[in-house]
Structure 1
């Protein structure tokens, strides 16, 4: 047995080496017949011994059908990238970074940051992958998810032959990020024999990697390119070149086109070159990524709440085309809003097959001359959006079928109500799409944060267990859940544990979870901080509510109406009886009233390089300021960053105090 295992290890290492040469380096070194001979021998030994090594190449063909995706929490957050869509945006990003760079070097002359150098990488249009290696072994692979938690797809990823199952680096754990793709030539070859041809490479790759049958993933012969190490145990890199060298040394496939430059002007030229090359590549790209290479500089520049300040995604110009508007369907949202969605004749656009387009309401339809457009030619555009938009009708003639707004809810049949430009279904608790969306919202991360709960779960519980509103979740029993399709004992227990854990979320989270119309996270936090309890809020009058920060008459009326609804009151009462006990967070220390922002109404406009707008808003609110979105005679201060527009102009016309020096702003925030 020991001799057989030793031979298996040697065969696996040899085959993986040949795979690396062929699939990663595009340098085949043995014939197919020689490779097959080694592979067949390994299969024979595995059959005889009953042992399969963790990194065996035989595992790349796909195993048993999976029951579902397990959530995976990333070791380090996967950040989104800010977008630049033209040279002006690119220059603005560079200017912001350069300003922080100069300020740091002025304050730290003894240890300055080096001059900027830039890396330009292709932005592959596939599915983001996050691979975890521990002790040199691939132990997990996941999708990006929300940046913090993704879906575990290790069996699927193991089928990608360009991804190493073992790497030379064995000193701890690392997370490696890249993009799973399907080469266009592979897609073309696949479609020649496929019973159901695939329409585009991006959806083919994403669909394969999120398919519960890894054999489907294997059949599509996916590829993967890697560009970042998001987490490491005890290893650091000097710059992007150093990181890429590490990736290559550890058998990862990196982008075939990575260029380095010393000036932003040269970067702009390279971006233009890549855009011209775009249609000649064997894979889909939707832009390029520009990164400042030095790692210490990245650490100094840091992050906004959403993006790294040291990188930007340059998105290529939107693509437009024409197609036929086939129909308009009306969908019901969480708040009961009925929204039109256009169905168009399938057309290829920016690397995807478009079948649906967005519309907002009947006013939008009228404005775009679409009232009589069913069956006629329309313009559509895709610009970094999953769902493209309709620009308008190709001709001015009213020669198509008419788009008619519904009078009754397309789901539950309730008579609809017109509220401003939109129509609503008032049957909140008896309309299936509303109930399902409300349940999913209630369980979301910023609300009650019920892990493992999804919209699919909500729909299943609605259909099979009669769950209609959040209060029903707290009545669920293990015996009922475990009988459901796709619910084993573990999943049932995990869901019940997550529901139990949600009972002590903060009052602000609970109020947000309730889905009070016209309120969001910021407003519910204001309510929680002021009323310090659910009962005082439920008894509040509209006049009392409008005295609070950023709550106007419409929002106040929405809150009062919500807590006067008998069905809502019953739902809340049931939750409280079930043990839901929203926690009131401790008050912060009283704000000193001698700072320049205390009691002032402040408006932010333009781009601020030293901190994100959300971060600055929180700092100002902590100092007792009221941050609003529009300039009026009641505004005391306008903080203006780069590219400030009409708000700055209006402030100047009204003679309002303007702060446009960020160093001065920092001094005032610090109380100096």
Structure 2
């Protein structure tokens, strides 16, 4: 048997066993036997690369790791959808549709899968490339990673070029299994299936992606060369026949009332699905009617996404505990009977402050409704008072700090109860966590658990003691081996050379964040000048208000804070302003206001912000008529929507990098007009 025939035989055999294992749940060989077949195939393909087929199952295990993702311009822009939040919104949409397309309209209603949107191109029946949505026009080339997703066919029975769009996701069951594995290994749990799916697809090493149980639902034929269909539902049947997993349980309706009834059903029953959905998508079925209706600048007029209201679940408050923050604020937290909410198991919820508890009359043993604010932060929204049985216990904020036992105070005009003991261990711990964080001294390897161990073992008492740590102090700590200890010592040493603004931010001066720290470092040559600055001098700094100025002055009146700074100096921590490495960068964005939104393909958010500010622009947080342009990445959201509504220029990362390399403001302005 020649090599090509042997490769074909192995592919057929492995595909057969894949079908038995994955689809029929009836494996016929052991995992070891299967692995041996795959190893034999991979060996033959490596020795004979010209014989490797695009549909080889070896592509499912991942190829060579990438340095970074290339970019792909989408053949058809991957637009976002406008949103509806109520039945009335849907009726308004229906009226607009019928005004443009006529009274005879059908709607296809599909699940809005909560995953990562991708576009995949096939040519001559073979998988050619795949990309993230990106900013809708340009996406990241994640072809190697998509080839590892077993529900994406690598070969189809269609010679025409086609482009499909789908949503990659991880099922609830697989998500739960992965988090159980993380917990058993003592690793951090993943927040939700959507983030895990998105992170898995954006791994630079496809072998890591291949280990994740990713799946896909294809929901649209974006482009079909020489293909003609009358309706969207017909195109979905075509895609299903080609072997794609199409959007499940889609329905066709003629009445918007039937659409609303269908949506109401899934609003109540979405928890029964094995995958997360965050809404329903309603599309005009007839493709000619779609052509008649056309598009706005940002979305099709013939489709809309109904977003589910924030999911609410009933559970019980088992206890109310309090935690002491970095500034001494004591925050009450409800300990809950675990409940699954917006894709994750929730066992705690913030109660904000004393007034919030009083206003809602929240008690221990109460049955309550919880939801996630913005689908992120769990909070108690309502007490189910009709289920009270007399076992409920009222809660009062503590008169003494639960950590240092000093009296607590509630300052006039504030909602927060505070511990004002600056030596409180809880405040010290939170202060050290802040000091080493990414936006402060950026010391890798010093997580919360390690800091707690260092404090408990009396190795450190304040932030200055970090610079006295030796390898022998930490090597025997839990989960700290030789390599981790070496890396930690190197990271601590490296942080001594940080810019002054990082030290200022790390000190945790009330009301002074990253921006305020940079203003101080820009206007004073060292920490001593800042310590000796008067409130009047500080108030006169551009964008430095009176509250911030007063806080800085008060901070440096404390002997404890002065002592820490003196110890940092003795440890050779830099306390001087370092010459701005960007001082020679041409100010080609001078006077501009630039908004950054979404996740960029290669640039980290802070790096992009630094590039903006180094060139003389302000990196602002909200889009307005005065915004010069918006730098948009993947999942840009409402800021991108507002920019389109206001006609503000939107650029992707590649264009931004090109703009940043220009030599004059005139060139930038000229480029933005194109």
TM bin, normalised by shorter chain, reads 0.5 to 0.7
Aligned to 2:211: none
1:532 aligns with 2:525: yes
TM-fit CA distance, 1:497: 0.9
Aligned to 2:370: 380
Aligned to 2:274: 282
Checking the alignment, whether the CA contact within 8 Å between 1:319 and 1:383 is kept in structure 2 is no
TM-fit CA distance, 1:253: 9.5
Aligned to 1:416: 408
1:471 aligns with 2:444: no
Aligned to 1:17: 15
1:504 aligns with 2:497: yes
Matches within 5 A, 1:600-619: none
Partner Cα distance (2:263, 2:272) in 1: 15
1:393 aligns with 2:387: no
String of CA shifts for 1:401-420, please: whole Å, max 9, x gaps: 22111111111212223232
Structure 2 residue corresponding to 1:359, chosen from 342, 351, 361: 351
Partner Cα distance (1:56, 1:625) in 2: 50
1:574 aligns with 2:567: yes
1:208 aligns with 2:184: no
TM-fit CA distance, 1:554: 2.4
Partner Cα distance (1:501, 1:363) in 2: 44
Aligned to 2:655: none
Checking the alignment, whether the CA contact within 8 Å between 1:334 and 1:437 is kept in structure 2 is yes
The alignment partner of 1:374 has SS state of coil
Aligned to 1:632: none
After superposition, the Cα gap between the structure-2 partners of 1:558 and 1:487, relative to the gap in structure 1 and judged at 3 Å, is same
Partner Cα distance (1:413, 1:482) in 2: 33
String of CA shifts for 1:307-343, please: whole Å, max 9, x gaps: xxxxx99752112244443332111112221001112
Task: Please report the TM-score for the alignment, with normalisation by the length of structure 2.
Answer: 0.54
Matches within 5 A, 1:283-298: 283-287=275-279
Checking the alignment, whether the CA contact within 8 Å between 2:68 and 2:204 is kept in structure 1 is no
After superposition, the Cα gap between the structure-2 partners of 1:383 and 1:515, relative to the gap in structure 1 and judged at 3 Å, is closer
Matches within 5 A, 1:67-466: 86-87=84-85, 122-124=112-114, 179-183=169-173, 203-209=176-182, 211-212=184-185, 230=202, 257=248, 278-287=270-279, 315-350=307-342, 352-370=344-362, 373-395=363-385, 400-419=392-411, 420-431=414-425, 433-466=426-459
Checking the alignment, whether the CA contact within 8 Å between 1:15 and 1:38 is kept in structure 2 is no
Aligned to 2:3: none
Checking the alignment, whether the CA contact within 8 Å between 1:180 and 1:205 is kept in structure 2 is no
Matches within 5 A, 1:531-550: 531-550=524-543
The alignment partner of 1:450 has SS state of coil
String of CA shifts for 1:143-185, please: whole Å, max 9, x gaps: xxxxxxxxxxxxxx9xxx9769xx99xxxxxxx99544443xx
Checking the alignment, whether the CA contact within 8 Å between 1:382 and 1:388 is kept in structure 2 is yes
RMSD, aligned α-carbons: 6.4
Task: Please report the TM-score for the alignment, with normalisation by the length of structure 1.
Answer: 0.55
Aligned to 2:482: 489
Partner Cα distance (2:555, 2:278) in 1: 44
The alignment partner of 2:320 has SS state of strand
Aligned to 1:115: none
After superposition, the Cα gap between the structure-2 partners of 1:536 and 1:225, relative to the gap in structure 1 and judged at 3 Å, is closer
After superposition, the Cα gap between the structure-2 partners of 1:240 and 1:407, relative to the gap in structure 1 and judged at 3 Å, is same
Partner Cα distance (1:225, 1:623) in 2: 37
TM-fit CA distance, 1:512: 1.2
**Gap runs ≥5 in structure 2:** 1-5, 47-55, 72-78, 90-107, 118-144, 156-165, 191-195, 206-218, 225-238, 251-255, 283-296, 299-303, 596-604, 629-644, 652-664
After superposition, the Cα gap between the structure-2 partners of 1:544 and 1:41, relative to the gap in structure 1 and judged at 3 Å, is closer
After superposition, the Cα gap between the structure-2 partners of 1:326 and 1:383, relative to the gap in structure 1 and judged at 3 Å, is same
Checking the alignment, whether the CA contact within 8 Å between 2:446 and 2:488 is kept in structure 1 is yes
**Gap runs ≥5 in structure 1:** 1-7, 61-71, 92-117, 129-156, 169-175, 184-200, 218-223, 234-238, 260-264, 291-300, 303-311, 605-612, 630-636, 642-659
TM-fit CA distance, 1:514: 1.4
Partner Cα distance (1:563, 1:73) in 2: 46
Partner Cα distance (1:242, 1:82) in 2: 13
Partner Cα distance (1:664, 1:382) in 2: 33
1:564 aligns with 2:557: yes
After superposition, the Cα gap between the structure-2 partners of 1:350 and 1:393, relative to the gap in structure 1 and judged at 3 Å, is same
The alignment partner of 2:483 has SS state of helix
The alignment partner of 2:478 has SS state of coil
The alignment partner of 1:439 has SS state of helix
TM-fit CA distance, 1:575: 1.7
Checking the alignment, whether the CA contact within 8 Å between 1:374 and 1:402 is kept in structure 2 is yes
TM-fit CA distance, 1:500: 1.2
After superposition, the Cα gap between the structure-2 partners of 1:621 and 1:558, relative to the gap in structure 1 and judged at 3 Å, is farther
Checking the alignment, whether the CA contact within 8 Å between 1:550 and 1:627 is kept in structure 2 is no
After superposition, the Cα gap between the structure-2 partners of 1:447 and 1:479, relative to the gap in structure 1 and judged at 3 Å, is same
String of CA shifts for 1:560-599, please: whole Å, max 9, x gaps: 121222222221222222121155242758999xx9x79x
Aligned to 1:131: none
**Matched residues, number:** 482
After superposition, the Cα gap between the structure-2 partners of 1:123 and 1:460, relative to the gap in structure 1 and judged at 3 Å, is farther
The alignment partner of 2:518 has SS state of helix
Structure 1 residue corresponding to 2:473, chosen from 467, 480, 495: 480
The alignment partner of 2:562 has SS state of helix
